[in-house]
Amino acid sequence: MTPQDYDYLRKLLKERSGLDLSADKQYLVESRLMPLARRAGLPGIPELAQKMKSGAAALTSDVVEAMTTNETFFFRDKIPFDHLKQAVLPELIQARAARRSIRIWCAASSTGQEPYSIAMCLKEMGAALSGWRTEIVATDLSQGVLEKSRAGLFTQFEVQRGLPIQLLVKYFTQQGELWQLNADIRAMVQHRQLNLLQDFSHLGMFDIVFCRNVLIYFDQDTKTNIFDRLAKQVETDGVLALGAAESVVGISDAFKPYPERRGLYRPNQTRGAGAAFPFRVVAAAR
């Protein structure tokens, strides 16, 4: 791959997905895209880049999907889900007692382990959420991973990564060598294709947003922009959950740390008089 080809791919990936590749990540591009080039009947990356430049839209989409990381597993990092069960949901159940509904958004939901982990947490709340309307919206850039998520089918390896055995027995059914989530858990999650670089205000307001392990791939300006827009989608007493290696500190003042719960943040009410929440009407209308 020539430096010109690499520069072209870096620029395209930044524009399409926000992925910010440094100059020394050429090996990563080659390892991800060579199998794709072979499947397309092309001898290498230069020919792949040339075909994309000639306007092969489907191939360009395949390249973006191949380069966006879809590493995920059930109850990843465990702590955010402990926070969810021990603090966030009990508080919201009290605060939402009048309307009896909770909306949760999983941004960059990948193959479904995260939204389904949240769905199982809600199910495990039992009588506390009986009769409530709970909505989980799972979004991802990749249509392929959304289709896998929607099916709710996981390999033995996938269910062994982070999923407690008692939840496997309770919420999954074995289908040959695969495990399928029960229909009632699958029905709790709505799947939508979405690029975080684009407008997402149409999704409405949320009580909880999980945006974990995706912003680490973006540059500083892109992160700031996404945090600012996320703040407009989170209820004033809602919660944003980030990944273990992520933080808003030093990047944006749109959120402030949630007391004594690492990785959780609340919208910052003291920020800019009246500017932070122009979408309040959406919450009232839904």
List, for residues 250-277, the tens digit of each pLDDT value. Answer: 899 999 998 888 899 999 976 554 443 3
135 forms bridges with which residues in the sheet?
Answer: 103
pLDDT 10s digits, 57-68: 788 888 887 887
Locus of tokens 């889900």: 81
What confidence score (pLDDT) does residue 14 get?
Answer: 86
Q: Spell out the domain ranges in the chain.
A: 3-67, 79-151+181-285
3 Cβ contact partners less than 8 Å away, ≥ 6 residues apart: none
**Average pLDDT along the chain:** 88
Nearest Cα to 97, choosing from 62, 129, 53, 145?
Answer: 129
- Is residue 75 scored above 90 in pLDDT? yes
- The Cα–Cα gap between 274 and 260 comes to 27
What confidence score (pLDDT) does residue 249 get?
Answer: 87
- The Cα–Cα gap between 208 and 239 comes to 5
SS3 content of the chain, % helix, strand, coil (to 5): 45, 20, 35
Give the SS3 label for residue 134.
strand
Nearest Cα to 81, choosing from 99, 106, 102, 108?
Answer: 106
User: Topology of 3-67 in CATH?
Assistant: Chemotaxis Receptor Methyltransferase Cher; domain 1 (1.10.155)
List the alpha helices (DSSP H) in the chain.
Answer: 3-17, 26-39, 45-53, 57-67, 79-83, 89-95, 113-124, 143-151, 156-160, 165-171, 183-186, 220-231, 280-285
- Is residue 70 scored above 80 in pLDDT? no
Top pLDDT among 76 and 282 is at: 76
- The Cα–Cα gap between 175 and 6 comes to 43
The rounded percent of the chain whose pLDDT value lies above 70 is: 93
Superfamily of domain 79-151+181-285: Vaccinia Virus protein VP39 (3.40.50.150)
Residue 35 — pLDDT band, cuts 50, 70, 90?
confident
- Is residue 285 scored above 60 in pLDDT? no
Section 88-111 average pLDDT:
95
- Is residue 80 scored above 70 in pLDDT? yes
Pairing relationship of beta strands 133-140 and 172-175 according to DSSP bridges: unpaired
Top pLDDT among 245 and 202 is at: 202
- Is residue 207 scored above 70 in pLDDT? yes
Contact 50, 60 (CB under 8 A): no
Q: State which amino acid sits at residue 212.
A: R
- The DSSP letter of residue 111 is T
Residue 69 — pLDDT band, cuts 50, 70, 90?
low
Other Cβ atoms less than 10 A from the Cβ of 84: the count is 25
pLDDT 10s digits, 231-250: 999 999 999 999 988 889 88
- Is residue 281 scored above 70 in pLDDT? no
- Indicate the pTM of the whole model: 0.82
What confidence score (pLDDT) does residue 82 get?
Answer: 94
